[in-house]
A and B are shown apart, each in its own frame.
Chain A
Amino acid sequence: GAVVSQHPSRVICKSGTSVKIECRSLDFQATTMFWYRQFPKQSLMLMATSNEGSKATYEQGVEKDKFLINHASLTLSTLTVTSAHPEDSSFYICSASPWIEQFFGPGTRLTVL
């Protein structure tokens, strides 16, 4: 149980394009979903917290107009990186939480050329 999927697992795009990443909880309903960014050999950096049906709460320093988050249902959240630039290249990981513990997706490796 407690499986979270993330799609795509890897994406390469040109600078200036937008990329959408999907996060789904497959066997449970998630009241809250989280989006993280992780640089090589560094820990998780929380970008935003989203609750189904309400606006996401962004961490300080994270541009909400650049990283659009939509939490359309209790099992689906999407992160759209708008007008991506090479500095947005990173490993993006979502997690879904039915209560306190978080269950993570496998991550998406974004490379912006």
Chain B
Amino acid sequence: QKEVEQDPGPLSVPEGAIVSLNCTYSNSAFQYFMWYRQYSRKGPELLMYTYSSGNKEDGRFTAQVDKSSKYISLFIRDSQPSDSATYLCAMSAWKTSYDKVIFGPGTSLSVIP
């Protein structure tokens, strides 16, 4: 079992839809959770960063963490064609400087005008 699993998609939605992107993980020590957006042929861009369980909202984006289920989500409201990209979840235990950030494989999202 991989440490972080993510449905690769592709996920295609109409403009204005609510998008739900998810990751599951196996390491219960993870406590820092991040979402990145990567456009084609560009470096990933940090979207959201949360610690432990709970919700965090930033504009049209909401990140949720459920540590009991080892499940994290990113919701995008009122999706726009400019949201079309690959979304990567990432997480870390970060108890020591040797704890790495583990990335999911990414979900490809297309928002159709």
Contact = CB atoms under 8 A, between A and B. Distances in A.
Interface string A70-113: 00000000000000000000010101010011111111010000
B80 interface: no
B45 A100 contact: no
A106 B45 CA distance: 9
A38 B101 CA distance: 16
Given A100-B94, A101-B34, A101-B46, A91 B41 contact: yes
A58 to B, nearest CB: 13
A42 interface: yes
Nearest to B91: A100
Q: Which of B94, B101, B104 has the most chain A CB atoms closer than 10 A to its own CB?
A: B101
Contact of B103 (A2, A4, A44, A100): A44
A42 B105 contact: yes
Contacts of A91: 41
A100 B32 contact: yes
Interface in A38-68: 41-44, 46, 49
A43 B42 contact: no
**Chain B interface size range:** 20 to 34
A106 B105 CA distance: 18
A6 interface: yes
Interface string A17-54: 00000000000000010000000011110100100000
B59 interface: no
A58 B76 CA distance: 36
Given A43-B88, A44-B88, A91-B41, A103 B101 contact: no
Contacts of B49: 101
B100 A46 contact: yes
3 smallest A-B Cβ distances: which pairs? A104-B43, A43-B105, A104-B44
Given A2-B46, A43-B103, 16 more contacts: A6-B43, A41-B108, A43-B104, A46-B100, A49-B100, A93-B43, A100-B32, A101-B34, A101-B46, A102-B101, A104-B36, A104-B45, A105-B43, A106-B42, A107-B43, A109-B41
